[in-house]
Structures are given as structure tokens and as C-alpha cells.
Amino acid sequence: MNYAVILAGGVGSRFWPFSRELEPKQFIKIIGQHSLLQATIQRLKGLVDPSCTYIITNKIYFYEVKAQVAKFKIPDKNIILEPQGKNTAPAVGLCAKLINKFDQDAVLLVLPSDHYIKKVGNFKKTLKKAIVCAKNNLLVTLGIKPVAASTGYGYIRVGAKKNGYCQVKAFLEKPDLNKAGRYFKDKRFYWNSGMFIWKASVFLEEVKKYLPGLYSNLQLINSVDDIAGVWPRIEAISVDYGIMEHSKRIGLIPADFYWTDLGSWEALSEIFPKDKGGNIVSGNVLNLDSQGVCVFSRGNRLVSTIGIKNAIIADTPDALLVCDRDQTQDVKKLVGLMKTLNRKERLVHLTERRPWGSFTVLQQGMGFKIKLIEITPHKRLSLQRHKDRAEHWVVVSGIAKVVSGRKTSLVHSNQSIYIPRGKKHRLENSTNQPLRIVEVQTGNYLGEDDIERFDDDFKR
């Protein structure tokens, strides 16, 4: 049986400010009507059954993943949660161990959730070729023929062609520009796509051989209930470093489709159409006499450029990035600096998603905060109280079911209700329509951690 193992735990730091640590790029609609995760699942239609599709992600993303995969009828039990990110080898090893327990002939299609692929028919044909090779006990990777001397990808050097695949001679780290130029001119080199196909049992054999410590820890995991106790002992390492650089049973199948891993803003700029000046604009943008400029705007405000050259501009309601197109890989360094400075902008957008919906901070000042709260149909917030703040709710649209102390009431559009400081309360949308509320908080402290929960549907 074929199984998909979709890796969806990355933070997408090179895609800041659109991607944030608590809302990374795989959950965002970047191009088309689906998020990158949803597009990854959609591409597997007819090749892997939803019941055989597994998503491995960080535990903080569980409700986001659950909401995004619901339309594909993927069971909740197929969402495998890592307590902490440990890179790809432990993540893939964990899924291989769990699946191999009930299907020792399982073939795993290991796919990142943040790729953009065109010619889906060719993609499926390539996967079918890879599955045939994997059944012959090979670790199969898909190689991308370079179209430029890129320093943003790892490379694979191949040898002779054999039985529908190329023998792999070496996995190589991301090169400097000089090496990338040599690799680009040499037909033996491919970009490392990070897509792998192999039997779960064969992969576990290679883990046992080259990562014995990881293998020993995986043997202690017989169900998802065992993960939390074992995971802290596991060392972080990638599949490439831990297995692929050492294994002697690797085959590469060249990809016959357009691919980009959307690993940087420059990668995204390759997808969108350009005007005569080589410019790309997306959103509310006006451009005058600029060349080679890519402007991506997700806010309502107008973004204008005059005489700018070779730049990436990414605008959101709370953060603006202006970057030379030759330095887009350094956005990760910028996010690292924000982490050092404890900047909130690396973590969340102004609109923060929650399992029950979302909220947007509209304005904040001394002693007050104003939010727009949106609650998904048939969802509710926790039963809670606040020590330091009171709240005044005005219903904009929909009907709010409000618990305040021992009283439960329905608050309709254009009506309001006041929740005093220290009173237990709960907000619920029990209708089939979205509920939108303007919340005015007042108090000496308005941090999100001023919440004492008594009951919560999401076990926070």
C-alpha cells in the first residue's frame, strides 16, 4: 500500500513577513485557492487514499492542520504531533515506525508541504516510477534539473543510469556561487527536491545502520501515546545528513515537472508574470519607472515604488520587508535577529488565528485594547476569567451566546454586553453563520496571558 507522509512542521522563516512562526507558509494561500499544504494533498488524489495520508507537524499546529485537511477526509489520528521540531530524520522515522507496525510492505511518499508544482499529471507519473523503484528496496529521491546557478538548494551528483533511475554518487550542501555555477553547467548535478519514496521497512533498516541512537529511541514508540516521553531524548538531524549522505542504496529519478520549494522571496518571484520592466506586483500597488521589482502586498494600504531596482517588497498590516533580490536567503537571519530582540512580529500577524476562529488587534493604547473577534460557526471560546481586565462586546454580525457568571444570554447584531473583571464568562457561536464582535478591553494589564481557563474544548 502507498502512504503519503507530509512534512508540515517548518516555520518558513525565509518567507517573513507573510510567514510567521505561529502561521507558517505551508498554511497560507500563496497562489491559487488552496494553502500550500492543501495543494500538496490535492496533488495526491487518485494516488494515495486519504486514509493513508499522514501529516506530521508540531503540536502547536494541530488545530490549524485539522481545519485545513477536514475537506480531504483525513482522519485526526493521521495527524502525528511532534512535541518539538527535531528536523526531518526523526519525523520521517517516527511515521515509518508507526506505519510499518501494521503494514510491513508500506511504501512511503515523503513530501514537504511547502512546494509549488505545475504539470501535476507528470508529477504523478514520476511518483509512480519512484514507487516501482522503491519496491525494489531502494531509497528513491526526485531530482530537479537546475535552471540557474542557485545557492539556495542542496545538490545531488549522479552516476550511471540504471533500470529507470540514476545512481546517486553524492549529496552536496548548498554551495557558494562559484560552486553553484560549476554544478549548473555539469549535467550530472540535480537540485535536491527533498521528496523521497521508500519502503518504511527499508528506511528503518538504514536508520538502524547510520543513526543507531534514533533507531533505539524509535523502538520505544509503539503508539502516539509514547511520543512525548521519548521525544526529548532524540537528537535533531535531517534525512540528508543522517541517511542520504551515507546510504549505498539510493536512486534518483529526474523530475519531469515544474518545481520550486518556495524557500525564499526570490523563488516566489519566479512564479508570477512580469511586466516589460521585469516587475511583479500583487496587491494594491502602483509602480513608476522601477525595474526588476517584486511587490507583494497583503494590506489595504497603497504601496508605491519610484525608480527602485532589483528589490523585493513584502507588505503586511504590521510589518514591511524591503530586500535586495540577491539577498533574499538572508531573511532567515533577520528573523533570527527578531527572535533575539523578542519581537512579536516574528511570531504572529495582527490577525491571530485560534482553534475557534481569529482576532485582530485594531488599536491599543494606555489602559485599553480594541479587537475584532471572528468566531467560526459552532465553535466557542473557553470558560474563563481575567484578573486584570474588563471586556465590553459589541456584536457586529451574527448572534453571540454569552455566559456571564450564572447567566446565559443571546446578544444580537447592534447589541452589546459588559463582562466585569474577575467574572467567569464564555463566548459561543451556536449558529451556522460567522460571528463578528468588536471587543473593547480596559484595565491595567491587557496581555493575552491574563486568562484563567476552567473549561476548554481545545484542551489548552
- DSSP, residue by residue, 406-446: TEEEEE-TT-EEEE-TT--EEEEE-SSS-EEEEEEEEES--
- Helix, strand, coil shares of the chain as percentages rounded to 5? 30, 35, 35
228, 257, 267, 280: which is closest to 86 by C-alpha?
228
CA 279/CA 297 separation, integer angstroms: 14
pLDDT at residue 79, rounded to an integer: 96
Instruction: Show the domains of the chain with their CATH numbers.
Output: 2-263 (3.90.550.10), 266-340 (no CATH), 351-455 (2.60.120.10)
pLDDT at residue 170, rounded to an integer: 84
pLDDT class for 326, splitting at 50, 70, 90?
confident
Read off the pLDDT of each residue in 428-451 and give the average, rounded to a whole number. Answer: 94
Residue 263 has pLDDT above 80, yes or no: no
CA 425/CA 408 separation, integer angstroms: 9
Dig out the grid coordinates for 313 from the structure: 517588497
Q: Is the dihedral of CA 47, 53, 56, 61 positive or negative?
A: positive
pLDDT at residue 33, rounded to an integer: 86
pLDDT, tens digit (0-9, with 9 covering 90-100), for 288-306: 999 999 999 987 889 999 9
pLDDT at residue 311, rounded to an integer: 94
123, 255, 250: which is closest to 198 by C-alpha?
250
Dig out the grid coordinates for 23 from the structure: 502561521
Dig out the grid coordinates for 351 from the structure: 490577525
Provide φ and ψ at 416, rounded to 5°: -140, 165
pLDDT, tens digit (0-9, with 9 covering 90-100), for 210-253: 999 999 999 999 999 999 999 999 999 999 999 999 999 999 99
Taking the model in full, what pTM does it have? 0.85
